Amino acid sequence: MSGTGAPLLEVTDLAKHYPITGGRTLRAVDGVSFTLGAGEVLGIVGESGSGKTTLGRTVLRLTAASAGTIRFRGEEITDYSRRRMRPVRRHMQLVFQDPYASLNPRMSVEQILAIPLQVHEPGLKRAERRDRIEAVLSTVGLFPEAASRYPHEFSGGQRQRVGIARALICNPALLVADEPVSALDVSVQAQVVNLLLDLRQRLGLAILFIAHDLAVVGLISDRVAVMYLGRIVEIAETTTLFARPRHPYTEALFSAVPDIGGRHDRILLQGDIPSPVSPPSGCPFRTRCPYAEAACAEALPPLVERAPGHFAACRRPELTLSSPLSPQPVSRFAADA
Amino acid sequence: MSAAAPLGSALPAPARGARRPALRRFMRHRLAMFGLAAIVILVVACAIGPYLSPYGPLTIDLRHRFQPPFLGPHLLGTDQLGRDLLVRLLLAGRISLTVGFAAMGLSTVFGVIVGLAAGFYGGWAGTALMRFVDAVLCFPQIFLLLTLAALVSPGVLTITLIVALTSWMEVARVVEGQIRSLRERDFAVAAEAIGVSDTHLMLRELLPNVMAPIVVAATLTVARAILLESYASYLGYGIQPPTPSWGNMLNNAQEYLTSAPWLAIVPGIVITLAVTGFNFLGDGLRDALDPRLDIHR
C-alpha cells in the first residue's frame, strides 16, 4: 500500500550517534532507510533502547542527524537550520507518549492549541482561531468547553486527545506518534487507536507509529518495521510480516505478546538488549538469537528483499519462523473494549 | 478549580491547582508569616511614618541632644545634634529598602537573562558564561563591592548598581540549571516541534516554570542587598551623609558607642529585622513552592 509517485518521507542511511565519555560513540540509530507514502501508516516496533524514539525525533529534525538524509515532501531537510525548518514543521507533527509531560501545565487547552496557529497562520483573526480550535477539539472527540480547561483537569486519554489536537490543528501531512498509547489504560488505548485510524482515513494523514506493542501496531499499520539496536532488521507489509516473519527477532517479539490460554511455546530472549555503545560484531542480534551460527559474527547482514516488499536482515533465509498471531490481530481490543 | 481540594488530597494537581496548596503551606509557615509581617510593617512605616512625625529629619532639637529612647519627647531618642532618631531611621529605611528592592530587581533580571541564555543555547558559549558566573562567585563579594565602590562615586544609584552587580550570580545558576532540564521535557520538545520562535519557547514555555525558584532567590537577594548596602555605607563607601541609610547611621554611631549606644542599637535592630524578615520569607516561599512537596512534579 505504499504511496504512488514520490513518497512523502524518504529516509536514507539515517544515523544518530551520541558521543559519550571516553571518546566512544553511542549509536542510537544506525543506517536506517525507509520510505513513507502519503496517507500511509508505518509501524516501528522494537524493545526499549532500540532507537525508535530517537528515530522519530531525528526524522522530525528535533535532534540533528549524524549521517544520512531525510527528504520530506521532495525537500531535503537534513541540514535545514531552525529557521528554515519552521515553515516545514506545520506539515510534520509529533504526538508524545506521556500526555502528562507533553502539555505545558501552565497553559489552558485553548492557549496550547492557539500556539501552532499563531506560528503558522499568524493572519488568523481571533474568531477564526476560536473556530479552528473548536473544530479540532470536535475532530478528536472533545467538547468545545474543554478549551478553557487546564491539562491537569483531564484524564490521561483526554490529555492524549489534546496532544493529538495540537498536532492536527495545522493539518499536517505526517504525524510521528511516539508510543501514543503506551501510557494509557487498555480501554483508553483502543479509543485513541480508533481515533488515529479514523483521522488517517478522514484526513489522509501519514503516520509513523512508534510502539513496542505488536498488537496495536498490527492493528493500525500498513507496513511494519522492526528495529533492533538502532537498525531496521525487518520491514514488510503488516499482513505478510504477521503471516511469516523472516527475522528471528521478529519471531521473538511475536512470541512475547501475551495471550490467554498459552497456546504457543514462548521464545524467551536471554538477557538485555546489548549496549549500543559496543554492539556485537556481525549481526547485532546474534548474542540472543536461538538460531545463531558462528558465521553470524562475521559481517553485519544487510537488509535483503526476501519476498516482494519484504526485507529482512538475517543471513539464514531458510529458517521457517512462526507467528502465533493471526493476520488480523484484533482480538485483544475486541475483547477489552 | 472552583472548590478547593480537600486537605491532604492525593490527587496530583500541578500548576494552577498546586498554587492553593502552596499558598496554604506558605500561610502555615510561621517564620515566613513573621517575616512577611516584619517587612510589611517596615515598608509601611518607612513610607508614611515620616509624614506623621512632628519632627523633620534635619530638625535640630538642642534641648534634647542624646536623649535615650523612651525617656523624652523623641520616641527612639536623638543623636548628637538632637535629630529625631525615629524619623531618620524611617527615612534611612526608604533608602535602604529602595536599594534592596532595586538591586534585587536588577540582579534578578540580569541573572535571569544570563541563566536563560546559557541554559537555552548551551554549547560552548553557555559553558563559558556559567564558568564566568562561577569565577565571579569565587570572588569574595564584600571585597568586590568595596573595590567597585572605591572606583565610582557613591550614591543611591551607584550603590544599587554595585550591589546588583555582585548578587546576580545565584539567580543565573538556578535559572540555567532549571532551563537546561526543562528544555528536555516533552512540552518544550512539543513547542519546538510546532516551530515556535526561541523567544516564545524561552519566555512562554520555559520561564513560567522557573518562576518559583526565581521568586525564592529574589527574596533572599533583597536581604543580602540590604546587608551589603549596610556594609558599604557603614564603611563609608556607600550612601553618603546627609542622606541617611541604615548603614551610615551605624557609621555615625561609632563615636558614641559607649555614651549613646542606642544610636547603634536601634538601626542595628532594624537591619536585623529586615534581613531576617526577608530570609524567613524566602525560606517560607522555598518550602511552600518546593516541587518535591508537589506530588505530581
Nearby residues of A286 by Cβ (< 8 Å), 6 or more positions away: A280, A292, A296, A297
CB contacts, 8 Å: A103 with chain B: 187, 190
Radius of gyration of chain A (CA): 20
Say whether B194 and A102 touch across the interface (CB within 8 A): no
CA distance A184 to chain B (A): 17
Option in A60, A89, A98 nearest B186 (CB): A98
CA distance A130 to chain B (A): 18
More confidently predicted of B156 and A6: B156
Q: Is the pLDDT of residue B113 over 60?
A: yes
Confidence of residue A235 (pLDDT cuts 50, 70, 90): very high
Q: Is the pLDDT of residue A5 over 70?
A: no
Express each pLDDT in A87-106 by its tens digit: 999 999 999 988 888 888 87
Confidence of residue A10 (pLDDT cuts 50, 70, 90): very high
Which domain-ending residue is among A152, A171, A190? Answer: A171
Tell whether omega for the bond before A180 is within 30 degrees of 0, i.e. cis.
Answer: no
**Domain B21-293 is found in CATH 1.10.3720.10:** yes
Q: Which of B106, B97, B99 is closest to B164 using CA atoms?
A: B106
Express each pLDDT in B159-177 by its tens digit: 888 888 888 898 999 999 9
Confidence of residue B62 (pLDDT cuts 50, 70, 90): confident
Q: Is the pLDDT of residue A330 over 80?
A: no
Return d(Cα B226, Cα B43) in angstroms, integer. Answer: 13
More confidently predicted of B102 and A322: B102
Q: Beginning with the edge strand found earlier in the chain, give each strand of the sheet holding A310-312 in spatial order.
A: A92-95, A174-178, A206-211, A41-45, A223-228, A231-237, A310-312, A304-307
Q: Which of B217, B271, B269 is closest to B96 using CA atoms?
A: B271
Residue A271 lies in a domain: yes
More confidently predicted of B168 and B295: B168
> Which stretches of chain A sit within 8 Å of chain B by CB?
57, 60, 62, 82, 85-90, 92-94, 96, 98, 100-106, 115-116, 119-120, 150-153, 163, 166
Express each pLDDT in A60-77 by its tens digit: 999 888 999 999 998 899
Question: Alpha-carbon dihedral of residues B127, B132, B133, B137, nearest 10 degrees?
Answer: 140
Which phi and psi angles does A269 have, rounded to 5°? Answer: -75, 140
- Out of B55-64, B107-116, B210-219, B222-231, pick the least confident: B55-64
Option in B187, B208, B296 nearest A102 (CB): B187
CB contacts, 8 Å: B21 with chain A: none
Mean pLDDT of A205-225: 89
Option in A87, A105, A116 nearest B14 (CB): A105
pLDDT at res. A291: 86
pLDDT at res. A324: 62
Dig out the grid coordinates for A70 from the structure.
Answer: 531525510
More confidently predicted of A173 and A256: A173
Residue A136 lies in a domain: yes
Say whether A152 and B17 touch across the interface (CB within 8 A): yes
Which domain-ending residue is among A171, A206, A227? Answer: A171
The residue whose grid cell reads 499482513 is A239
pLDDT at res. A261: 58
Give Cα A176 distance to the centre of its chain.
Answer: 6
- Residue B181 at interface with chain A, using a CB cutoff of 8 Å: no
- Residue B12 at interface with chain A, using a CB cutoff of 8 Å: yes
Express each pLDDT in A121-154 by its tens digit: 888 888 999 999 999 999 888 988 888 888 888 8
Return d(Cα B140, Cα B138) in angstroms, integer. Answer: 6
pLDDT at res. A27: 87
Which phi and psi angles does B168 have, rounded to 5°? Answer: -90, -10
Residue A316 lies in a domain: yes
Mean pLDDT of A273-279: 80
Say whether A119 and B15 touch across the interface (CB within 8 A): no
CB contacts, 8 Å: A153 with chain B: 1
Dig out the grid coordinates for A195 from the structure.
Answer: 481515533
Q: Is the pLDDT of residue A332 over 70?
A: no
Confidence of residue A3 (pLDDT cuts 50, 70, 90): very low
Express each pLDDT in B200-240 by its tens digit: 888 888 888 888 889 888 888 998 888 888 888 888 888 88
Say whether A101 and B205 touch across the interface (CB within 8 A): no
CB contacts, 8 Å: A98 with chain B: 186
Residue in B closest to A102 by C-alpha: B187
Q: Is the pLDDT of residue A189 over 70?
A: yes
Q: Per the structure, how many domains does chain A have?
A: 2
Dig out the grid coordinates for B127 from the structure.
Answer: 559553558
Strand partners for A70 = A11
Return d(Cα B226, Cα B224) in angstroms, integer. Answer: 5
For chain A, the average pLDDT equals: 84
Residue in A closest to B17 by C-alpha: A152
pLDDT at res. A45: 92
Residue in A closest to B16 by C-alpha: A106
CB contacts, 8 Å: B186 with chain A: 96, 98, 101-102
Percent pLDDT > 90 in chain B is 18
Say whether A116 and B194 touch across the interface (CB within 8 A): yes
Instruction: Cite the beta strand spans of chain A per DSSP E.
Output: 9-20, 24-36, 41-45, 67-72, 75-76, 92-95, 174-178, 206-211, 223-228, 231-237, 304-307, 310-312
HSE value, Cβ hemisphere, 13 Å, CA-based, for A157: 15
Range of the domain at A150: 99-171
Residue in A closest to B201 by C-alpha: A115
Express each pLDDT in B5-51 by its tens digit: 333 333 344 444 445 677 888 888 888 899 999 999 999 988 888 78
Q: Is the pLDDT of residue A325 over 90?
A: no
A&B contacts, CB < 8 Å: 76
pLDDT at res. A100: 81
pLDDT at res. A334: 42
CB contacts, 8 Å: A62 with chain B: 189, 192-193
Question: What interhelical angle do A156-168 and A109-120 show, nearest 10?
Answer: 20
Residue in B closest to A175 by C-alpha: B193
CA distance B156 to chain A (A): 38
Residue A292 lies in a domain: yes
Which domain-ending residue is among A154, A171, A188? Answer: A171
Q: Which of A196, A189, A203, A246 is closest to A221 using CA atoms?
A: A196
pLDDT at res. B294: 46
